[in-house]
Amino acid sequence: MKQDLNRHEILEKITPLIENTTMRYDLIPIEIDFAKENHRWFLRIYLYSHSRPITLDDCEKVTRSLNDFLDEIIPVKYYLEVSSPGLERKFKSDKEFEIFKNKRISLKLKQPLEGETERIFKGEILDWSESEGLTFFRFDDGQEFLIPKANIQSAKLYVD
């Protein structure tokens, strides 16, 4: 029996549950993905904490807390993967600019800034606004820039 599955509908149902559960452990789900790969469904949850590194214990607690509830909502067999996002993972959503405020990032622009030739910079997120874009402190010359959201090609955390 082939089952029609609307992954976006399932994500809408499970996201509040995941956010509420992770909040109890002082964690933030920075990415929730439900996708089919090689005929198998995977639910991947990437966690972050402002106050500490993510541990295996954190991932286990979230997994145990969610398992039964998710099984009631998701009508197919799936594999649950809960982990930290990794140190150099590319940002997948705008909310990560807010979550990682004051963190070091590597930023790639679609077009160089006015008067510049380079498109890749290392610096720190000073602020983020959906309408204005990214306020960014560039390390190599100590300058501050306001970069429109439309000019950002990619960003990822930067580790020295």
Residue 2, SS3 per DSSP? coil
Note the pLDDT of residue 4: 64
Give me the phi and psi of 2, to 5 degrees please. -85, 130
pLDDT digits (tens, 9 = 90+) for 2-41: 456 889 999 999 999 999 999 999 999 999 999 999 999 9
* Whether residue 160 has pLDDT greater than 90: no
Distance of alpha carbon 47 from the chain centroid: 8
Instruction: Give the domains, in start order, of the chain with CATH numbers.
Output: 7-83 (3.30.300.70), 95-157 (2.30.30.180)
Residues 65/45, Cβ–Cβ less than 8 Å: no
pLDDT digits (tens, 9 = 90+) for 79-127: 999 999 887 789 988 989 999 999 999 999 999 988 888 899 999 999 9
Note the pLDDT of residue 3: 55
Compute, in degrees rounded to 10, the torsion defined by CA atoms 50, 55, 56, 62.
-30
pLDDT digits (tens, 9 = 90+) for 37-55: 999 999 999 999 989 999 9
* Whether residue 60 has pLDDT greater than 60: yes
- Give the predicted TM-score (pTM) of the model: 0.80
* Whether residue 1 has pLDDT greater than 50: no
Residue 147, CA distances (Å) to 4, 91, 102, 159 in order: 42, 16, 16, 22
Q: Which of 9, 17, 86 is nearest to 54 (CA)?
A: 86
